[in-house]
Amino acid sequence: MGPDGPDLMQRGDLSTLRAIPWLPGYARIACEGYVGGEPYPYDSRGVLTRVTAAVKAEFGYDFYTGLEPEFYLLKTCPTTGRPIPAADGDALEKPCYDYAALSQVASYLQTLVAQVRACGMDVYQIDHEDANGQYEVNFTYDLAVTAADHYTLFKMAASTLAKERGLMVSFMPKPFADKTGNGMHVHLSLGQGEEKNLFAGTDDSRGLGLSPLAYQFLAGVLRHAPALAAIACPTINSY
């Protein structure tokens, strides 16, 4: 859209209206873009909303995603000015699940969890990840649009709460050339309500417990992998 283009207006989804605990007096509402009264075709939330609604209308499927975001929690080195792990002594060659480092930033992590839980997110796991200064906070799977909204809100909370403590967070997939990148496992499933997982099968000849629909879904992901990569991984620093 050029400077001569019409205004991009945002319409809020009232079901997402939440008070923000870390910004008293403020609230958040997830929005979708409209131009000239019509849905803006390149609005990512709008695209996801329309696609999942179409799948529901045509097949009766609910599309769920479970996200496992990883991030670096960092501070500035007073001598070099470079970002270093927030926890002093977080220098093990293999620091995954390191209690000593985790305990030093427990206050930040617990505050982060409490704040996002107050916004309706169900956090069930925290751990120190593979790299020094790297952590993962997992929240329960949900309908795809809701899960995406949760992830955006989670990043807002993680960044704001870190800055309040003189720290910084990075969700960049590869912020350090010599350290493990930030990943985000995305679990995908189709269901009919939360009680029926359509990817579960009892007669799987491969013994993996998957339904024919699950294998068809996997085949579709593989078939469209090049196009998915172009959209989901547009830069050299992508997941």
DSSP per residue over 129-148, as a string? -SSTTEEEEEE--EEHHHHH
48-76 pLDDT, tens digit each: 999 999 999 999 999 999 999 999 999 99
Does the pLDDT value for residue 114 go beyond 80? yes
Q: What letter does residue 23 receive in the DSSP assignment? A: S
Helix and strand numbers, DSSP H then E, in the chain: 6, 12
Please say whether the dihedral angle defined by the alpha carbons of residues 165, 167, 172 and 173, taken in this order, is positive or negative: negative
165-218 pLDDT, tens digit each: 999 999 999 999 999 999 899 999 999 977 899 999 999 999 999 999 999 999
SS3 176: coil
Q: What letter does residue 180 receive in the DSSP assignment? A: P
At 185 the pLDDT is 92
At 239 the pLDDT is 61
| Average pLDDT rounded to a whole number, residues 31-40 | 94
Q: Which residues contact 185 (CB under 8 A, 6 or more apart)?
A: 66, 67, 68
Q: Cβ distance 201 to 187 under 8 Å?
A: no
**What domains lie within the chain, and their CATH numbers?**
64-186 (3.30.590.10), 199-239 (no CATH)
Q: What letter does residue 191 receive in the DSSP assignment? A: E
146-160 pLDDT, tens digit each: 999 999 999 999 999
